[in-house]
Amino acid sequence: QSALTQPRSVSGSPGQSVTISCTGTSSDVGGYNHVSWYQQHPGKAPKLVIYDVTQRPSGVPDRFSGSKSGNTASLTVSGLQAEDEADYYCCSYAGSYIYVFGTGTQVTVL
């Protein structure tokens, strides 16, 4: 149950796009389409922004999109806004009712 690997930080100017990668193995990310992404502002609970690799929950702006290729999933935030500055975590099902989170990525809006 090793944590999924994410870049420590990414940054972009308002209006630009940033992409966060989430690398696992064939036993988690590569083996299931149950990858989700969470946004967490300081001192707050995480918020679901993408589920099942590409699906957006109701109320999440369409600026957030997800994808997957092999053992790597990605979250793209387009049209970056100040309120997007937060920590982002991926999460994958790993079989046998086990889940694993990513190491987390800090997104900075320049």
Partner 1 sequence: QVQLVESGGGVVQPGRSLRVSCAASGFTFNTYTIHWVRQAPGRGLEWVALISYDGTKKSCADSVKGRFTISRDNSYNTVYLQMNSLGSEDTAIYFCARGSPPYSSSSLDYWGQGTLVTVSS
Site for partner 1, rule CB under 8 A: 1, 3, 34, 36, 38, 40, 45-48, 51-52, 57, 87, 89, 91, 93, 96-104
Those residues whose C-beta lies under 8 Å from the C-beta of residue 24, and which sit 6 or more positions away, are: 4, 5, 30, 71, 72, 73, 92, 100
Nearer to partner 1, 53 or 77 (CB): 53
Cα separation of 14 and 26, whole Å?
35
- In one letter, which amino acid is 20? I
Least distance from partner 1 to the Cβ atom of residue 15, Å: 28
> By C-beta, is 45 or 110 nearer to partner 1?
45
Q: How far is the CB of 100 from partner 1 (least distance, A)?
A: 6
Q: Which is nearer to partner 1, 28 or 84 (CB)?
A: 28
The beta strand positions in the chain, using DSSP E, are 9-12, 18-23, 35-40, 47-50, 64-69, 72-77, 86-93, 99-101, 105-109
Residue 51 beta carbon to partner 1: minimum distance, rounded to whole angstroms: 4
Cβ proximity to partner 1: between 34 and 63 the closer is: 34
HSE of 106 in the Cβ direction (CA atoms, 13 Å)? 5
In the complex, least distance from residue 65 CB atom to partner 1, rounded to whole angstroms: 16
